[in-house]
Amino acid sequence: MNPIMPNPPRLAIAGVTGAVGQEFLKLIEERNFAFESLKLLASARSAGKTLSFLDKTYTIEELTEDSFDDVDLALFSAGGSVSKKFAPIAASKGCVVVDNSSAFRMDPETPLVVPEVNASQIEHHKGIIANPNCSTIIMNVPVWPIHQAVGVERVVVSTYQAASGAGAAAMAELEQQARDWVRGDPISQELFGRQYIWNLFSHNSDIDPETGYNQEETKMIQETRKIFADPDIRISATCVRVPVLRAHCESINLTLKNPLSEAQAREILAAAPGIRVADDRAANKHPEPLVASDQDDVYVGRIRDDAGQAPGLGLEMFVAGDQIRKGAALNAIQIAEQLVKPIAG
């Protein structure tokens, strides 16, 4: 059992200047997440800058080994190497870290949590709780209730991922490319090394030379198995970046262990937490990145019995979720909310 987290906690945000760091602040305000004190941490480059938040002006501090001496809860989103170095230091000082990087996700000692799926894992932490990959979270929220109901044997997923997953600079480059294109200027392509506007490309994470899978795909496969506590679930993933700014979509095809009608699937999804069903066949209103942007819920639509499998044993859906929000900052804040919750009973 972990020591009880003070409520409100002394809070820190590591990587506050990034897209996810900024979203942490938005969500803390929106959800009235109470804190005793707030420390905003970033690299030396941003240290000393000031930031207004909730009628107070904060000075951004450099993230160092001493940053966590007076912190109970830290939200990390400053990249894998920063997490690898500083999260264990914070934990050793009694601070609980909710880490947005991939550094500890597959560590057997570290809970990997999507609150709609495995919130109960949170209490087993040893100082660090990992926030899953954005594409994993957006897939897990709708697949889990189906898995609970009838068992999912196999998932085939293809993603349509936004620039936001590569950070604020990637979003800015995509926007700049639109301006370049309209003005007839040469297309800026420093970050992705290619024209992104009017284009799409295989996800920009390293590809395993042996298996041919990129890291994003491997994360979706391995993390889902850990979160579902089901090492046998079979997953085929293809991850692709599309010229969209901030919400990810996924085309998900399921093979079910036990039959489920489309009507039952729809009912289960509509009742599940964190999901909004958007599935209007007549008006062709289904999940779209612009609809899901800045929203907490994962949008689920195109729900249909799969024509390519035995009736009731295949299910198709198309989903959209805000990559920065539910895919990152919101999921972490939900974990933090559980941490400060008074123990029931």
Please report how close the Cβ of residue 214 comes to a copy of itself at its closest, in angstroms: 8
CB 38 within 8 A of CB 13: yes
* Per CB under 8 A, 343 contacts a copy of itself: no
Q: Would residue 249 show up in a list of annotated catalytic residues for this protein?
A: no
Q: Choose among 5, 48, 8: nearest CA to 28.
A: 8
Q: Which is nearer to a copy of itself, 164 or 331 (CB)?
A: 164
Pairing assessment for the beta strands 247-256 and 314-322 based on DSSP bridges: antiparallel
Looking at 38, 82, 146, 221, which residue binds a copy of itself (CB under 8 A)?
221
Please report how close the Cβ of residue 209 comes to a copy of itself at its closest, in angstroms: 6
Sign of CA dihedral 121, 122, 123, 129: positive
Please tell me the distance from the alpha carbon of residue 150 to that of residue 155, in angstroms, as a whole number. 14
Q: Which is nearer to a copy of itself, 110 or 140 (CB)?
A: 140
Q: Which is nearer to a copy of itself, 149 or 178 (CB)?
A: 178
Looking at 149, 181, 188, 270, which residue binds a copy of itself (CB under 8 A)?
181
- Applying CB under 8 A, the span of 17-25, 36-44, 196-204, 333-341 interacting with a copy of itself comes to 196-204
* The two three-digit tokens of residue 334, written as one number: 């939900």
Q: Which of 134, 147, 249, 286 is catalytic?
A: 134
Amino acid at the residue 281: R
- 50 class by beta-carbon count within 10 Å (0-12 exposed, 13-18 middle, 19+ buried): exposed
Give DSSP secondary structure letters for 124-165.
G-SSEEEPPPHHHHHHHHHHHHHHHHH-EEEEEEEEEB-GGG
- Applying CB under 8 A, the span of 14-22, 82-90, 144-152, 177-185 interacting with a copy of itself comes to 177-185
Pairing assessment for the beta strands 247-256 and 240-241 based on DSSP bridges: unpaired
* Per CB under 8 A, 306 contacts a copy of itself: yes
Chain centroid offset of residue 114 CA: 9
* Per CB under 8 A, 302 contacts a copy of itself: yes
Please report how close the Cβ of residue 287 comes to a copy of itself at its closest, in angstroms: 8
- Applying CB under 8 A, the span of 29-37, 77-85, 93-101, 307-315 interacting with a copy of itself comes to 307-315
Range 228-257, binding a copy of itself (CB under 8 A): 234-236, 238, 240, 242-245, 249, 251, 253
Pairing assessment for the beta strands 96-99 and 56-59 based on DSSP bridges: unpaired
* Per CB under 8 A, 200 contacts a copy of itself: yes
Please tell me the distance from the alpha carbon of residue 40 to that of residue 88, in angstroms, as a whole number. 18
* Per CB under 8 A, 261 contacts a copy of itself: no
Range 140-169, binding a copy of itself (CB under 8 A): 154-156, 158, 160
Task: Tokens 């800045």: give the residue.
Answer: 294
Range 262-281, binding a copy of itself (CB under 8 A): 262, 281
Please tell me the distance from the alpha carbon of residue 88 to that of residue 103, in angstroms, as a whole number. 11
- Residue 275 pairs in a beta bridge with 298
* The two three-digit tokens of residue 232, written as one number: 């046998």
Q: Would residue 239 show up in a list of annotated catalytic residues for this protein?
A: no
Cβ neighbours around 228 below 10 Å, total? 20
Q: Which is nearer to a copy of itself, 61 or 216 (CB)?
A: 216
Looking at 132, 301, 321, 327, which residue binds a copy of itself (CB under 8 A)?
301
Q: Which of 125, 147, 203, 248 is catalytic?
A: 248
Q: Which helix (H) or strand (E) segment is 339 a member of?
A: helix 330-340
Active site residues per annotation:
134, 248
Which residues lie near a copy of itself (CB under 8 A)? 154-156, 158, 160, 178-179, 181-183, 194-195, 197-202, 204, 207-209, 211-214, 221, 234-236, 238, 240, 242-245, 249, 251, 253, 262, 281-282, 284, 286, 288-290, 301-309, 314, 316, 318
